[in-house]
Amino acid sequence: MLVTDLYELTMAAIYRRRGMEAAATFSLFVRTLPPDRGFLVAAGVDEAVGRLLAWQVTDADTRWLATQLGTGEDTFAPLAGLCFTGEAWAVREGTVVLAGEPLLEITAPLPEAQVPESMLLNAVTYQTALASKAVRCVLAARGRPVVDFSLRRDHGLEAATAAARAGALAGFAATSNVAAARQLALAATGTMAHSYVQATGDERAAFEAFAAAFPASPTFLVDTYDTAGGVRAAAAVIQARGLAERAAVRLDSGDLAAEARLARRLLDDAGLPAVRIVVSGGLDELAVDDLAARGAPVDVFAVGTRVGTAADAPSLDSAYKLAQYHGRPVTKLSAGKGYPPGPKQVWRRPGAADVLTPRDDQGPPGARALLEPVVRGGRRLRPAATLAQAHARLAEGLAWLPGEAKRVRDPVPAVCVTGERLKRLHEEVRAGLRTASAPPAAVTPG
Amino acid sequence: MLVTDLYELTMAAIYRRRGMEAAATFSLFVRTLPPDRGFLVAAGVDEAVGRLLAWQVTDADTRWLATQLGTGEDTFAPLAGLCFTGEAWAVREGTVVLAGEPLLEITAPLPEAQVPESMLLNAVTYQTALASKAVRCVLAARGRPVVDFSLRRDHGLEAATAAARAGALAGFAATSNVAAARQLALAATGTMAHSYVQATGDERAAFEAFAAAFPASPTFLVDTYDTAGGVRAAAAVIQARGLAERAAVRLDSGDLAAEARLARRLLDDAGLPAVRIVVSGGLDELAVDDLAARGAPVDVFAVGTRVGTAADAPSLDSAYKLAQYHGRPVTKLSAGKGYPPGPKQVWRRPGAADVLTPRDDQGPPGARALLEPVVRGGRRLRPAATLAQAHARLAEGLAWLPGEAKRVRDPVPAVCVTGERLKRLHEEVRAGLRTASAPPAAVTPG
Single out the residue of B420, B370, B398 nearest to residue B45, CA to CA: B370
Residues of chain B contacting residue A337, judged by C-beta atoms under 8 Å apart: 253
Report the 10 Å Cβ neighbour count for B137: 27
- Cβ–Cβ below 8 Å for B224 and A334: yes
> What pLDDT shows up at residue A225?
87
d(CA B136, CA B140) in angstroms, rounded, equals: 6
**Interface residue of B2, B7, B25, B127 to substitute, partner A, most A CBs within 10 Å:** B7
pLDDT (tens digit, 9 = 90+) per residue, B80-135? 999 999 999 999 999 999 999 999 999 999 999 999 999 999 999 999 999 999 99
Return the SS3 of B203.
helix
| Amino acid code (one letter) for A222 | V
| DSSP one-letter code for A4 | S
> What pLDDT shows up at residue A446?
29
B338 touches chain A (CB under 8 A): no
Residues of chain A contacting residue B165, judged by C-beta atoms under 8 Å apart: none
Task: Give me the residues of chain A with pLDDT under 50, please.
Answer: 437-446
**Interface residue of A11, A56, A246, A307 to substitute, partner B, most B CBs within 10 Å:** A11
Report the 10 Å Cβ neighbour count for B40: 27
d(CA A157, CA A251) in angstroms, rounded, equals: 26
A231: alpha, beta or left, given left = phi > 0 and alpha = psi -120 to 50? Answer: alpha
CA torsion sign for A193, A199, A204, A205 is negative
Q: pTM of the predicted model, to two decimals? A: 0.96
> What pLDDT shows up at residue B240?
97
d(CA B173, CA A424) in angstroms, rounded, equals: 45
Cα separations (Å) of B313 from A135, A309, B7, B126, B306?
Answer: 22, 10, 27, 10, 10
pLDDT (tens digit, 9 = 90+) per residue, B315-338? 999 999 999 999 999 887 655 557
Of A7, A182, A305, which has the smallest distance from its Cβ to B176's Cβ?
A7
d(CA A278, CA B7) in angstroms, rounded, equals: 14
User: In terms of DSSP bridges, do strands B248-251 and B219-221 run parallel, antiparallel, or are they unpaired?
Assistant: parallel
| Tens-level pLDDT at each residue, chain B (446 residues) | 789 999 999 999 999 999 999 999 999 999 999 999 999 999 999 999 999 999 999 999 999 999 999 888 899 999 999 999 999 999 999 999 999 999 999 999 999 999 999 999 999 999 999 999 999 999 999 999 999 999 999 999 999 999 999 999 999 999 999 999 999 999 999 989 999 998 887 999 999 999 999 999 999 999 988 999 999 999 999 999 999 999 999 999 999 999 999 999 999 999 999 999 999 999 999 999 999 999 999 999 999 999 999 999 999 999 999 999 999 998 876 555 578 999 999 999 999 999 999 999 999 999 999 999 999 999 999 999 999 999 999 999 999 999 999 999 999 999 999 999 999 999 999 888 766 544 434 333 32
**Interface residue of A1, A2, A4, A6 to substitute, partner B, most B CBs within 10 Å:** A6
Residues of chain B contacting residue A64, judged by C-beta atoms under 8 Å apart: 182
Interface of B with A in 349-408 (CB under 8 A): none
Q: What number of CA atoms fall less than 13 Å from residue B1's CA on the CB side? A: 22
How deeply is A410 buried, as exposed, middle or buried, from its count of CB atoms within 10 A (0-12, 13-18, 19+)?
Answer: exposed
Interface of B with A in 224-253 (CB under 8 A): 224-226, 253
Residue pair A278/A296 in contact by the 8 Å Cβ criterion: no
- Cβ–Cβ below 8 Å for A68 and B199: no
Residues of chain A contacting residue B153, judged by C-beta atoms under 8 Å apart: 121-122, 125-126, 315-316, 318
Residue pair A222/A250 in contact by the 8 Å Cβ criterion: yes
CATH code of the domain made up of B6-130+319-435: 3.20.140.10
> What pLDDT shows up at residue A441?
41
* Domain regions of chain B by residue span: 6-130+319-435, 191-279
- Cβ–Cβ below 8 Å for B6 and A213: no
Single out the residue of B56, B49, B40, B41 nearest to residue B106, CA to CA: B49
Single out the residue of B52, B78, B55, B46 nearest to residue B65, CA to CA: B78
- Cβ–Cβ below 8 Å for A3 and B157: yes
Task: Return the CATH number of A6-130+316-435, one of 3.20.20.210, 3.40.50.970, 3.20.140.10, 3.40.50.300.
Answer: 3.20.140.10
> What pLDDT shows up at residue B430?
85
Q: In sequence order, which residues have a C-beta less than 8 Å from that of residue B335 and are 6 or more positions away? A: A253, A254
Q: How far is B162 from chain A (nearest CA, A)?
A: 9
Residues of chain A contacting residue B438, judged by C-beta atoms under 8 Å apart: 201-202
Q: Would you state the CATH architecture of domain A137-308?
A: Alpha-Beta Barrel (3.20)
* Cα A89 to the center of its chain, rounded Å: 18
The CATH class, in words, for B191-279 is alpha beta
Q: How far is B390 from chain A (nearest CA, A)?
A: 20
